[in-house]
Amino acid sequence: MLDDVLDMWSRFDLEHNVWVVEDTDTCLIGYAFLEEDSEEKLFSYGCVLPAARGRGVGSALVAALEARAVSLRQESGASKRLQSMIPTLCEDAVQLFETRGFVPVRYFKRMEVRLEAAPATVIPPNGLTIEPFVKGRDEQAVYEAYVETFADHWDFAAPPFDKWVEKTQLPTFDEQWWMIVRDLTDTIAGFALCRMREDLLYIEQIGVRRPFRGRGLALMLLQHVFEASYRAGQTLVSLGVDSANPSGAYRLYEKAGMRPAYEISIYEKSFPSV
């Protein structure tokens, strides 16, 4: 888990886009970070220890996020949208964001499956193969497949290639958990980009390119991920899904045996250019 945190924070501008709150004993009681997803969209997340709630820590962190959004708007001259992710059932967080002018714009469910027995071995359809990602060979092709697959998803902003590829250069990156489906022409048909953690295997993105859809490849990929995770000794597999995704992803994950564990809300506040 510490490695996951170090990986995530290594991507941040620690001087300008990360805030921490300590108590009088210099113990960390809250933090927030901001990512500049695109020219106009900013994404943020924060947390306050339960014992420190009710002391204005959350309000101070949100104020810092808002001030940074204003600063970035002034620097660029472009409007900004500041988004933040909170647990839907966390009433304190909901009240905090709504009183500061944020509104809910999307809901995501975290879905999980606990593998009680070894999944059946997956056999790809004729003409298709499943293989692991190879560093130094597959970066550009997988990036292009990822951008094409998610281009029509809600609020998708394609990251620059050099920024996206940084995740494959992290010390904890493991090629075997990025799984690629190819056809006979070596074209990428689909992919499952996963990260093994101490407590679970997390599927960060799973997708099938449009020309290959309708052939059951997404379900096949899921089942392949389950099989590989079980073989590695990890029986808990998880992912996040947009509750309003029109592609039917939620139903697909249910068909694969996954069930919702909890829901998160994306709240947003606009900072128009002046």
Domain boundaries along the sequence of the chain: 2-107+265-271, 117-234
Nearest to 224 by CA among 129, 104, 146: 129
- Reply yes or no on whether the pLDDT at 6 is more than 90: no
* Predicted local confidence at residue 3, as pLDDT: 65
- Reply yes or no on whether the pLDDT at 35 is more than 90: yes
Per-residue pLDDT averaged across 231-259, rounded? Answer: 92
* Predicted local confidence at residue 274, as pLDDT: 74
Same fold, 2-107+265-271 and 117-234: yes
CATH topology of domain 2-107+265-271: Aminopeptidase (3.40.630)
Percent of the chain with pLDDT over 90: 85
Report the alpha-carbon distance of residue 200 to residue 135 in Å, rounded: 24
For residues 66-85, one letter each, b for 16 or more C-beta atoms within 10 angstroms of the residue's C-beta and e for the rest, the string is bebbeebbeeeeeebbbbbb
Local confidence band at 16 (pLDDT 50, 70, 90 cut-offs): very high
Local confidence band at 5 (pLDDT 50, 70, 90 cut-offs): low
CATH class of 117-234: alpha beta
Percent of the chain with pLDDT over 70: 97
Mean pLDDT of the chain: 93
pLDDT digits (tens, 9 = 90+) for 102-143: 999 999 999 999 999 999 999 999 999 999 999 999 999 999
Report the alpha-carbon distance of residue 91 to residue 101 in Å, rounded: 16
Q: What's the pTM value of the predicted model, to 2 decimals?
A: 0.90
Q: Show the tokens assigned to 91.
A: 């009433």
pLDDT digits (tens, 9 = 90+) for 185-238: 999 999 999 999 989 999 999 999 999 999 999 999 999 999 999 999 999 999
